Amino acid sequence: MFDEAGAAVRLRVSLAAWRWAAGSGLVPAADAGEGRWSRVVVESVDAEGVRAGLRGPVPACWAAERLTEALGVPVPLRRPRVTAAAVGHLVRAGYLVRLGGEREFPDVHPDQVAALARRRDLPAVLDRCVPLGPGEAAVRLGVRRTDFDHVVRLGWVSPVGRVDVDLGRACGGVVEVPLYSAVDVALLPVVRPAVDWWGVRRTGPGRRSLLAVLLPVVPGGDLVELGEVARIAGVGRVAVTSWRRRLPGFPPPVAGQGTGVRPVFERRAVVAWLLAAGRLAVPGAPGTASLRVSGAGTRTGAVRTVRLDDPVLVLAEAVTGTDRVSGWLPETGADVLDVLGEGPAGLAVERLTAPGAGAVGLGVLGGARVSERVRSGGGWCWVEVSWPARVRGR
């Protein structure tokens, strides 16, 4: 009977090659217990085939960069970069095979990384399998780190694990860092609909968090009525009443709270049921708009295309009004808009493709300005570009 190391020695192949062959199905499954093979199985394996099957391995940092690139360039809004530690979590979840290296930062097969990078559900896989540190959780939520610290203080999320991180002697040595479920973090704006998340996300550096005035939830006191359950699920109250009556497993009302007419339920239990029943989805990537701009009245010919994430387009009903488009973009993109709009004629929007702009988009000959800009950590800015409605064209 052989474990993985013994099997590799018996066939005179590297341990990484055996691990890849076992993980990818090139050799029979372990038949003598978990991670153990019988002599008959090991000696029946084609050693040359095992050696030929391995290309690599590659370190976890390389795999992390490839997966980050697969998310998009630049990395999409509210999506943290994939780290080497995240590769370790993907190995433990069974999406990659550890070929060597440290257990927390494993070496993996480049072809398997490439296959994972091609998956359309890669963001969902990362949310399910990779817990986030406080800084990464703030990025996933789209807020500043100080805002996320308030989220923790309020008791809205709890750690799902902890990890020791060595910051070096000058920074305090080894510290314990809490880890949070990416799904729980991403769902916060959905399950806490009463919070002004739009305002929280637009709070700039140095300003007090809008969450600072809120009080923490008390144990057993995070309760919701049917009306708020309906808001969380994005349906009417009648639908929730029907679910409660027809579908199994709906959480029971909290005893001693509410009334027979207005029962109350534990928020966490309701959210868990909605997810399990397929009535609630983790928010995906926000929508995008494409903004092709140039400096109006200039002869430089400088034309740039920037991408606005989570855009909002408001078109005035009267020609005397003002049109506005707002959204998030990297700080470098905001700088491009500022530079092009420095002239007296402002910006010319050669083409705007966004929800609400119509199938062919719209254009603005000139007079567009960056009317507001808020920097909110993580290298992103919220900007609003406005122009007189009378100069709008299609």
263 and 359 share a domain?
A: no
Quick check: is 202 in a domain?
A: no
Residue 187 lies in a domain: no
Angle between helices 4-11 and 15-24 (to 10 degrees): 110
Torsion angles phi and psi, residue 114, rounded to 5: -65, -40
CA atoms of 347 and 352, how far apart (whole Å) = 12
Number of domains observed in the structure of the chain: 3
Token duo for residue 19: 């691990």
Q: Is residue 346 part of a domain?
A: yes
- The predicted pLDDT at position 390 comes to 86
Determine the pLDDT at residue 342: 76
Low-confidence ranges of the chain (pLDDT < 70): 296-301, 356-361, 377-378, 394
Indicate whether 257 and 306 sit together in one domain: no
Residue 348 lies in a domain: yes
* Boundary of a domain, candidates 236, 254, 276: 276
Predicted local confidence at residue 357, as pLDDT: 60
**Torsion over CA of 185, 290, 294 and 350, rounded to 10 degrees?**
-150
pLDDT computed for residue 300 by the predictor: 52
The rounded distance, in Å, linking the Cα atoms of 141 and 105 is: 25
Predicted local distance difference test score (pLDDT) of residue 358: 59
327 and 374, same structural domain?
Answer: yes
Residue type, 308: L
Q: Within a domain: residue 350?
A: yes
Whether residue 146 is contained in a domain is answered as: no
Q: Return d(Cα 340, Cα 357) in angstroms, integer.
A: 22
For residues 297 and 364, membership in a common domain is answered with yes
Contacts (Cβ under 8 Å, ≥6 apart) of 29:
none
Residue 369 sits in the same domain as residue 327: yes
* Residues 313 and 378 reside in one and the same domain: yes
121, part of any domain: no
My answer on whether 347 and 297 are in the same domain is yes
* In a domain? residue 191: no
Per residue in 261-275, pLDDT (tens digit) is 789 999 999 999 999
247, 276, 305 — which closes off a domain? 276
Q: Residues 184-210, buried b or exposed e (16+ Cβ, 10 A)?
A: bbbbbbbbbeebebeebbbbeeeeebb
Question: Can you give the residue range of the structural domain that contains 362?
Answer: 288-393
Supply the pLDDT for residue 191: 96
Residue showing tokens 């609630």 = 280
> What pLDDT shows up at residue 356?
63
299 and 252 in one domain?
Answer: no
Q: Is 156 exposed, middle or buried (0-12, 13-18, 19+ CB in 10 A)?
A: buried
Judge whether 41 and 26 are in contact, CB under 8 Å.
no
Give the Cα-Cα-Cα angle 224, 229, 235 (nearest 5 degrees).
160
Same domain, 331 and 371: yes
Strand partners, 309: 288, 328
